[in-house]
Amino acid sequence: MSIPAGSIGRVVIAADDLAARVAEIGAQVTEDYRGRQPLLVGVLKGAFVFMSDLARSIDLPVEIDFMAVSSYGSGTSSSGVVRIVKDLETDIEGRDVILVEDIVDSGLTLKYLTQVLGDRRPASLEICALLVREGAEDGGAKYFGFPIPPDFVVGYGLDVAEHYRELDAIHVFEPA
């Protein structure tokens, strides 16, 4: 697969700011779930870096599982259709579940996932989103990191056509 035509632009959120905010969210989750063992459900692939850092910042035992959904394909805009590509391996009935998402854009994916997971009868279901696009609904996220501008962004797990996930900060992607 070739690198998409375009370039990495300005930093939107620096690595130090990401680390500080993730630590704050982890401390809040620790406080909110004291005495319980939440299940973090990461939405692959974009949320894996954020969820890894988040899990380590929560001072409680946590379990981890993943789902993969598709609504973007290889482009930079949503297709408008969400489908599950990889489902959970964990039965969530009666569990405290925190759905960990990289970015809330249109809210379509989040709405779909909260309905699917809610139908599985968890004890609780909260949303933790690293980024919320300016002008978008936060999808009811109890925990969120940063609002971001409407630019397409990459880094810290977010990609364009599977590239740039490894960047330690969040950058604007500027298509050619």
Residues noted as catalytic: 105
Residue pair 133/103 in contact (Cβ under 8 Å)? The answer is: yes
Positive/negative CA dihedral, 30, 31, 34, 37: negative
Other CB atoms within a 10 A radius of the CB of residue 135 amount to 8
Residue pair 175/169 in contact (Cβ under 8 Å)? The answer is: no
- Distance between CA atoms of 146 and 18, rounded to whole angstroms? 9
Residue pair 84/115 in contact (Cβ under 8 Å)? The answer is: no
- Distance between CA atoms of 18 and 157, rounded to whole angstroms? 12
For residue 88, the SS3 value is coil
Residue pair 22/129 in contact (Cβ under 8 Å)? The answer is: no
Task: Record the tokens describing residue 118, joined without a space.
Answer: 């809610």
For residue 108, the SS3 value is helix
